[in-house]
Structure 1
Amino acid sequence: MRLPNMTSLYGRIFAIFWFVMFLVVLVVLALPHFDPRKTRDIAPPDYDRMLQVRDRLQHVFSHQMDLSHILERLEERSHRGAEDNKQRLFITDRDGNILSSHRRPDFMQRALRNFVTTIDDPLQPQQKLYGKTMLSGPVPIQLAQGDFYLYVGMKWDEPPHFLLQLFDHPFRLLFAVMLVSTPLLLWLAWALSQPARRLEKAAQRVAQGIFEIDPDLERGTSEFRQAGASFNQMVEAVNSMISRQQRLLSDISHELRSPLTRLRMAQALAIRKQGDSPDLARIDLEAQRLEQMIGKLLELSSMQVDSHLTREVQPLSSLWEGLLMDSQFEAEQRGKTLCVSDIPDRQVICHPQLLMSALENIVRNAIYYSKNTIQVRLEVKANRLHILVEDDGEGVPEEELDSIFRPFYRVSTARDRHSGGTGLGLAIAESAIRQHSGSIRASHSALGGLLVEVSLPLLKDK
């Protein structure tokens, strides 16, 4: 499986993150320059309108030689403009002194005086916001055969008050920008992490023995698309390999039946011709044992073929309740006692026949080799099911505890032919448990015999 290039992926994430942060810082640094209360150049359309106002005034007062009369007319017009939320006009001399017929200056005249002091070059008109009035100027104008400067005050409705508050408090501005950019960053993190989550869930399904391809893995960034395609190819290859191996085992088992049948027929003919003899009886016994082994192999292969593809959610009680009741009945028939704890009310993703066969082989092995008592306990710890099956039999030597799950392995103390069995029961159980991402181990029981402990992952509670 080809893993995503994490260096390239992390590099892309960091590049996007720092680009967004750069934009945030750029906005924070640039926004104050758009504050209308800061002196700035007049836009060409506004400057053209001021020139039109200047030309209109020069035309209206072209024959008026009394400057005081012109100022009174302009102030009357300015006051009417203030009441009608229109423009107000102001005149200054070349030295920047405000010309007015009123002795007591109003707010706008004080604002104009402040604005005039900020003008460095009269040939470069500026504008600045005072309260809700935008002052613009100066523009050269000729009135009463004199040279003066014209300033215009316009009602200003933008920007909204809250933006001015942001301009006055940089930390508020920074907070507002972060408030806008945080959802973008969260969405970016979510979008980049989704393919990783899908790949993680797919790996968890495989760990649980569910070998299914997921088309969604081949979406997202190029690195994860490649990794998803490789992951699906790996799952298909594993499915094919497991299926071939299991079918090979099944075919071999079936093929062994033919020579075994011919052997049994030859043995029957020999008995008919020569009568019973110890040698023929031994041949018959070994043939029976071989038939049992082949039967177990066929059972194992039939259960395992495509078992990794057939998984379903099953309650623990539906899997093992009937099996444990039958085992108790079998133990009673042998004059033994089988004690079973309550089955937890939980669910497991499994191949039902495999898990039922696994526990059946473990419990039957305990019943067979016990003296009087068998105990079966089912416990849930850390979202895993622990099954403990122990008996009071002779047990297994310490050095052989790890070997009893090997196919056809027979414990040294049980090698005599009267002990029965083919050595496949615990091997079948171990294979089934391993296919369900579980574990199985053997140890000495407090009852004096063998303790087999199984651990299986459970479906998480909702």
Structure 2
Amino acid sequence: MRLPRFTSLYGRIFAIFWLTMLLVLIAVLALPHLDPRKSHDIPQKHIKQMQEYAQRIEQRYQHVDNLNQLLRQIEKDRPSPRDPRPRFFLTDLDGRILTAQKQRNFKLRALQNFISSIESVDHPKQRLYGHYMVAGPVPISLAGENLHMYVSFKWDEPPPFLLKLFDHPLQLLLTVMLVSTPFLLWLAWALSQPARRLERAARTVAKGEFIVDPSLEKGTKEFRQAGAAFNQMVQDVNQMISGQQRLLSDISHELRSPLTRLRMATALATRKQGESPELTRIDTEAQRLEQMISELLELSRMQLDSHTDRERQPLSSLWEAILTDAQFEAEQMGKTLSYTAIPERNISGKPKLLMSALDNIVRNAIHYGKDHIEVSISADNEQVIVHVDDNGEGVPEQELDAIFRPFYRVSTARDRVSGGTGLGLAITQSAVRQHSGTIEATRSPLGGLRVTICLPLLFD
């Protein structure tokens, strides 16, 4: 017979609950049968031994005819209290204890209690009182009278384990905790494993990797449903983003055709009519529009490929060459660029995007800085922090957050003078966010603009 599989979380909790209740019920039902302090039937083998013991006593005292004399002789022959041999007691048929001495010790009080609890003398019983087991009665004939004999002997056997537990609540509590711990650990494992898989999948999506994880659809019924819903969400988001970016990419490509025809027409008009301010203005705007479309295509391509696989790369292999080239370019423009040593740490990501992110902000600083640019790169246990400072005019405080929006133009005409499209920082921000990083602009200590990038690192 196959045991049922509890695929539901509630089913597993229900199974553990009822298993615990079953164990408790078995313990409660078994306790009365295991407790020697309650009256129990005597095994037939032990009854036979008691009967043989009664016969030996009859043979020993068969020469005594007077009951009182017999009782005195029995008291005289009793072993010392430390003697481990069984002791016998005599009662009449009405249950009155016969003894030559008027003593009220523990054994007699226990015997009186035992006699009063017996329902029928035809069915011998036994019961534990403290460290002494009392058993009987068996019939015996002494001094010409029919009597009952009871036997008392030292009980050296340890009490049953369950009896100990129920006598000591603290031990019972510890035992219940010990028995239930494996089940609780199993339940915790059953809950934590799919929860951790779901957490890892959520972190992967947060990094911009929209990948369906089949392992999410394993485990209990509730987690399988949650995993299936999560995977469906990832598919829908992936399709939505891909659809939007493809639409944007297609539109950008379609715009290039009439733009190319416009520039060709401008060139033909210039050849026929000669140079004119109007034709020059048309050609300039056409060039800016072509640059804008190119950058827009790059932005959409970056977002379209946000779910592609990533590589493990040292920071130095990504940025060393960029900073060296930027330093040379700044010198050609009569400016100075200094940068700190690149930490020997690793990062997971798309090399092209990470290189493009730093290259954009460094070249932006070179272009707008007056004569000095500083790049500082530091790393802690979790992230790398890049500061790029210039000593240019900077950006107004109220516009620092807005400069990362696509096509945004600063009110000081920072982009208009250079002919920029307003997409450079938007592309940089997209690249940084695809790597679960942050980017912000603040006022630089040099007087111009400071752009700060924070990216998570790999644990070495």
Q: TM-score, normalised by structure 1?
A: 0.76
Matched, 1:92 2:87: no
Moved more, 300-309 or 250-259: 300-309
Structure 1 spans left out of the alignment, 5+ residues: 1-7, 72-78, 104-109
- 1:201 matched residue in structure 2: 200
1:116 to 103, 111, 114: 111
Moved more, 252-261 or 91-100: 91-100
Is the 1:126–1:137 Cα contact (8 Å) retained in structure 2?
yes
Question: Cα 1:132–1:336, aligned 2, differ >3 Å: closer, same or farther?
Answer: same
- 1:429 matched residue in structure 2: 428
Question: Cα 1:290–1:194, aligned 2, differ >3 Å: closer, same or farther?
Answer: same
> Following the alignment from structure 1 to structure 2, what is the Cα–Cα distance between the partners of residues 371 and 157?
100
- 2:73 matched residue in structure 1: none
Is the 1:195–1:217 Cα contact (8 Å) retained in structure 2?
yes
> Following the alignment from structure 2 to structure 1, what is the Cα–Cα distance between the partners of residues 256 and 299?
15
C-alpha distance after superposition, 1:359-406 (max 9, x if no partner): 211111111111111111223467333221110111122333232212
C-alpha distance after superposition, 1:329-377 (max 9, x if no partner): 2212222111112223333332322222112111111111111111112
- 2:386 matched residue in structure 1: 387
User: Which amino acid is 1:409 matched to?
Assistant: Y
Question: Cα 1:348–1:30, aligned 2, differ >3 Å: closer, same or farther?
Answer: farther
Matches within 5 A, 1:1-400: 36=35, 38=37, 40-43=38-41, 46-50=42-46, 66=62, 90=88, 92-94=90-92, 95=95, 97=97, 113=108, 115-119=110-114, 120-124=116-120, 125-129=124-128, 134-140=133-139, 146-151=145-150, 159=158, 169-380=168-379, 383-400=382-399
> Following the alignment from structure 1 to structure 2, what is the Cα–Cα distance between the partners of residues 66 and 55?
16
Partner SS for 1:422: coil
User: Which amino acid is 2:298 matched to?
Assistant: E
Partner SS for 2:412: helix
C-alpha distance after superposition, 1:144-170 (max 9, x if no partner): 874333446789785479878767654
State the shift of 1:203 in Å. Answer: 2.4
> Following the alignment from structure 2 to structure 1, what is the Cα–Cα distance between the partners of residues 377 and 29?
68
> Following the alignment from structure 1 to structure 2, what is the Cα–Cα distance between the partners of residues 417 and 177?
77
> Following the alignment from structure 1 to structure 2, what is the Cα–Cα distance between the partners of residues 64 and 160?
35
Partner SS for 2:170: helix
C-alpha distance after superposition, 1:81-108 (max 9, x if no partner): xx9x9x96846222454789xx9xxxxx
- 1:406 matched residue in structure 2: 405
State the shift of 1:233 in Å. Answer: 1.4
State the shift of 1:311 in Å. Answer: 2.9
State the shift of 1:207 in Å. Answer: 2.2
> Following the alignment from structure 2 to structure 1, what is the Cα–Cα distance between the partners of residues 394 and 49?
112
Question: Cα 1:381–1:142, aligned 2, differ >3 Å: closer, same or farther?
Answer: same
> Following the alignment from structure 1 to structure 2, what is the Cα–Cα distance between the partners of residues 416 and 204?
36
Question: Cα 1:26–1:58, aligned 2, differ >3 Å: closer, same or farther?
Answer: closer
Is the 2:379–2:385 Cα contact (8 Å) retained in structure 1?
yes
Question: Cα 1:54–1:68, aligned 2, differ >3 Å: closer, same or farther?
Answer: farther
Partner SS for 2:389: strand
> Following the alignment from structure 2 to structure 1, what is the Cα–Cα distance between the partners of residues 211 and 125?
71
Runs of 4+ in structure 1 over 6 Å off: 8-13, 15-32, 54-65, 130-133, 142-145, 153-157, 160-165
Partner SS for 2:117: coil
State the shift of 1:302 in Å. Answer: 2.6
> Following the alignment from structure 1 to structure 2, what is the Cα–Cα distance between the partners of residues 179 and 89?
42
Moved more, 350-359 or 272-281: 272-281
State the shift of 1:268 in Å. Answer: 2.8
C-alpha distance after superposition, 1:400-421 (max 9, x if no partner): 3232212222323336865232
Percent identity, aligned pairs only, is: 57
User: Which amino acid is 1:428 matched to?
Assistant: I
User: Which amino acid is 2:233 matched to?
Assistant: M
> Following the alignment from structure 1 to structure 2, what is the Cα–Cα distance between the partners of residues 178 and 224?
27
RMSD: 4.6
Q: TM-score, normalised by structure 2?
A: 0.76
Question: Cα 1:25–1:52, aligned 2, differ >3 Å: closer, same or farther?
Answer: closer
C-alpha distance after superposition, 1:430-456 (max 9, x if no partner): 222223333222222121211112233
Question: Cα 1:67–1:16, aligned 2, differ >3 Å: closer, same or farther?
Answer: farther
Question: Cα 1:298–1:139, aligned 2, differ >3 Å: closer, same or farther?
Answer: same
